[in-house]
């Protein structure tokens, strides 16, 4: 019932593709990285609030999420970024939700989403 077609919401997805180390002015590695992102694609995925039994049953009691996403065919990575409107630039600072937790079952993928603060 959670994966009905009529419950899907259209979102824009961007996945991290590369991690490039940051260098200081002398060319030495600083230990920090910058992230390169993929081209935005539009997806349709089921979104649910993170309150109640659903999140407790899937992820446990000690987790802080804003939304729960469920899909049978869309595979997301940790640190994937989701946008409510088509993104144009500054993906790392303008996203609406970030995938922070993933639970895979036999028939579906469950994603814990955290809002940008």
pLDDT attached to residue 108: 87
* 61: CB partners within 8 A, 6+ apart: none
* 21: CB partners within 8 A, 6+ apart: 29, 30, 31, 32, 33
pLDDT per position as a tens digit, 21-45: 898 999 899 989 888 888 999 999 9
CATH 2.40.10 fits 5-115, yes or no: yes
pLDDT attached to residue 64: 83
Instruction: Return the residue matching tokens 């997806």.
Output: 43
Judge whether residue 1 has pLDDT over 60: no
For the chain, the structural domain boundaries read: 5-115
pLDDT attached to residue 35: 83
DSSP string, the chain: -TT-GGGEEEEEEE-EEEEEEEE-TTS-EEEEEEEEE---EEEEEEEEES-SHHHHHHH-SS---SEEEEESS----TT-EEESS---S-HHHH-SEEEEEEEE-SS-EEEEEEE--
By percentage, how much of the chain surpasses pLDDT 90?
30
pLDDT per position as a tens digit, 61-101: 778 888 889 898 888 988 899 999 999 888 888 899 999 99
Q: Do residues 68 and 47 lie in contact, with contact meaning Cβ atoms separated by under 8 Å?
A: yes
């Amino acid at each position: 019932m959670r994966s009905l077609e009529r419950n899907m919401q259209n979102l824009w997805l961007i996945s991290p593709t590369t991690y490039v180390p940051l260098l200081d002015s002398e060319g030495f590695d600083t230990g920090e990285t910058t992230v390169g992102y993929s081209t935005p694609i539009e997806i349709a995925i089921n979104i649910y609030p993170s309150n109640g039994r659903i999140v407790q049953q899937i992820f446990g009691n000690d987790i802080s999420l804003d939304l729960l996403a469920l899909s049978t065919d869309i595979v997301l990575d940790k640190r994937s970024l989701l946008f409510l409107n088509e993104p144009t630039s500054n993906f790392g600072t303008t996203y609406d939700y970030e995938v922070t937790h993933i639970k895979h079952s036999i028939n579906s993928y469950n994603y814990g989403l955290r809002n940008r603060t």
